[in-house]
């Protein structure tokens, strides 16, 4: 199928200093069409030498270039121009992402439109970032300055390639930083296309640099680089640990880490059952379960447990699996097919009750049937480990106190949801759960104004909104002696 793609792939080179260039080594690597495993194209492979060149370009753009010295208004104007270009090319970008990633085309269009909204929201802060005037003891005038950190290294995941690329740029660039970005090796094509639009928008050369390549080479080079001031990563907890070590062994660059999740959705007896089933379904099966906040642990109170399962199974059976470019398809191919099938086998082996799915769909490509396990115990691997696929785990509970303890019984703490009509129960549970984002009678609804990040091993730091901007700025305190303090 890779040969019949409905979009032309135009950019396969590294993007350094405002130009598309081959890698120093000349090596390339293939990027694959998950519909059938065919090669879409070959992309130049970045490594240490390429990262060095990109960091040099970003450092020169930060130390000597206009970007951090522009007025906030002018930076915001260029970011708005970029957002307009992204919006104009949404169909093409979505097609590239569907081809490279496998998500249904209509979902790619919706999510990429959301990334444009994020960029515009953050760009609106560009001319509003300011410090404080602070009253201090003695004859002194004191104030703070908020300044960009410098060169930021950003390492992206494969599940939402364009969205992650744009939203991470939004905060960094709004504050006046320059960036070196490594897109996931599985999905580099949309970031490279967007780099072309960054140049077209008039953002100065060197402000954004894109280095496709592998994690152990290009990613590791970014992590340990002595001239990168901050590191931002979304991905697995295991890689997050490695980047913390790399930071500690290099220049102690600050980190924002958004790592794994195993998020609970708690459904109480009094919830609207049909609504709860719909929320659970979208919370887990959206983007084929390839979402960090996916509600992969569903706790249902005993009074509605059986009816919930019946309705959830019927809804899962109605999913349309197939070519993600085909209208009406809900589920495309999975990027981590072997891992998902391994956990499905583990669930059966450990004694969870398979209600629906659990098999490969079709004879080729990486398609997995939407899968639901019932009667899942807290110590089972499918309830503890992040599967990152369309595997819903449903468990029964009796009391509020019980479900709070069980929902918190995980090493992760990225998100959680509660379905109930009782505001007191909702308040009790949301305050007790250890997670960075909580939804009540809804799930996976996000907004650019809300900070996003995790508790525990889901990482630290916050992205988006004013909290996200703070992570890309330094605070400098300034005191001036007053010569004539008699008015104090």
Radius of gyration of the chain (CA): 24
- Residue with tokens 């600050």, as numbered in its chain: 254
Cα within 13 Å of Cα(80), Cβ side = 12
Residue 87 burial by Cβ neighbours in a 10 Å radius (0-12, 13-18, 19+): middle
Task: Single out the residue of 453, 443, 451, 388 nearest to residue 417, CA to CA.
Answer: 443
Residues 35 and 102: beta-carbon distance below 8 Å: yes
What's the whole-model pTM score? 0.94
Q: What region does 18 belong to: left with phi over 0, alpha with psi -120 to 50, or beta? A: left
Dist CA 192 CA 14 (whole Å):
8
Cα within 13 Å of Cα(143), Cβ side = 8
Domains of the chain, each with CATH number or no CATH: 2-259+458-475 (3.40.605.10), 264-440 (3.40.309.10)
pLDDT at 314: 97
Residue 136: both structure tokens together? 């201090």
pLDDT at 362: 84
Four-CA torsion 190, 192, 194, 200, nearest 10 degrees: -150
DSSP notation for 165-211: HHHHHHHHHHTT-EEEEE--TTS-HHHHHHHHHHHHTTPPTTSEEE-
Task: Work out the number of other CB atoms within 10 angstroms of the CB of residue 99.
Answer: 28
Task: Single out the residue of 208, 256, 226, 211 nearest to residue 62, CA to CA.
Answer: 208
Dist CA 271 CA 74 (whole Å):
49
Residues 241 and 264: beta-carbon distance below 8 Å: no
- Would you call 43 helix, strand, or coil by DSSP? strand
Tell me the pLDDT tens digit for each residue of 375-400: 999 999 999 999 999 999 999 999 99
Residue 131: both structure tokens together? 């410090």
Overall size of the chain counted in residues: 488
Dist CA 118 CA 111 (whole Å):
11
Residues 298 and 267: beta-carbon distance below 8 Å: yes
Distances (CA, A) of 189 to 61, 126, 128, 275, 421: 24, 28, 34, 37, 45
Helix axes 90-101, 105-123, angle to 10 degrees: 120
Q: What residues of the chain score a pLDDT lower than 70?
A: 1-5, 484-488
Dist CA 392 CA 370 (whole Å):
8
Dmax (CA) of the chain: 86
pLDDT at 2: 47
Residue 166 burial by Cβ neighbours in a 10 Å radius (0-12, 13-18, 19+): buried
pLDDT at 90: 96
* Active-site residue, selected from the candidate residues 185, 258, 386, 463: 258
Residues 356 and 393: beta-carbon distance below 8 Å: no
Residue 258 designated active-site:
yes
């Amino acid at each position: 199928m890779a040969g019949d793609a409905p979009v032309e792939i135009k950019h396969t080179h590294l993007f350094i200093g405002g130009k598309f260039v081959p890698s120093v080594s000349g090596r390339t690597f293939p990027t694959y069409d998950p519909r059938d495993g065919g090669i879409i194209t070959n992309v130049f492979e970045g490594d240490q030498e390429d990262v060095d060149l990109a960091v040099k370009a970003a450092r020169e753009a930060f130390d000597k270039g206009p970007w951090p010295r522009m007025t906030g208004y002018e930076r915001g104007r260029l970011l708005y121009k970029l957002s307009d270009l992204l919006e104009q090319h949404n169909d093409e970008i979505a097609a590239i992402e569907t081809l490279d990633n496998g998500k249904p085309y209509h979902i790619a269009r919706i999510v990429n439109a959301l990334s444009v909204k994020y960029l515009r929201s953050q760009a609106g802060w560009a001319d509003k970032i300011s410090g404080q005037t602070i009253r201090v003891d003695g004859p002194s005038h004191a104030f703070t300055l908020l300044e960009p950190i410098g060169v930021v290294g950003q390492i992206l995941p494969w599940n939402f390639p364009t969205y992650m690329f744009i939203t991470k740029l939004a905060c960094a660039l709004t504050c006046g930083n320059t960036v070196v970005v490594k897109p996931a090796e599985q999905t580099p094509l949309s970031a490279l296309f967007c780099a072309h639009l960054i140049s077209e928008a008039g953002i100065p050369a060197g402000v954004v640099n894109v280095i496709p390549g592998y994690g152990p080479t290009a990613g590791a080079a970014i992590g340990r680089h002595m001239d990168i001031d901050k590191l931002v990563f979304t991905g697995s907890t295991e890689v997050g640990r490695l980047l913390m070590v790399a930071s500690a062994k290099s220049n102690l660059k600050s980190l924002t880490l958004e790592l794994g999740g195993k998020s609970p959705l708690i459904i109480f007896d009094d919830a609207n059952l049909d609504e709860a089933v719909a929320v659970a379904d979208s919370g887990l099966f959206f983007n084929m379960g390839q979402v960090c906040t996916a509600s992969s642990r569903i706790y249902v109170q005993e009074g509605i447990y059986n009816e919930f399962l019946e309705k959830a199974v019927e809804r899962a059976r109605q999913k349309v699996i197939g070519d993600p470019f085909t209208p009406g398809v809900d589920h495309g191919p999975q990027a981590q097919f072997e891992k998902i099938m391994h956990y499905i086998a583990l669930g059966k082996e450990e004694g969870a009750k398979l209600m629906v799915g659990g098999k490969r769909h079709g004879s080729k490509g990486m398609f997995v049937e939407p899968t639901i396990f019932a009667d899942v115990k807290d110590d089972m691997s499918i309830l503890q480990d992040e599967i990152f696929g369309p595997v819903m785990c449903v468990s029964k509970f009796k009391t509020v106190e019980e479900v709070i303890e069980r929902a918190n019984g995980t090493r992760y703490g990225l998100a959680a949801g509660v379905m109930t009509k009782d505001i007191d129960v909702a308040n009790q549970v949301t305050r007790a759960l250890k997670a960075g984002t909580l939804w009540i009678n809804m799930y996976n609804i996000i907004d650019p104004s809300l900070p996003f990040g995790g508790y525990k091993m889901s990482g630290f730091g916050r992205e988006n909104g004013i909290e996200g901007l703070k992570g890309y700025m330094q605070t400098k305190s300034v005191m001036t002696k007053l010569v004539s303090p008699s008015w104090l």
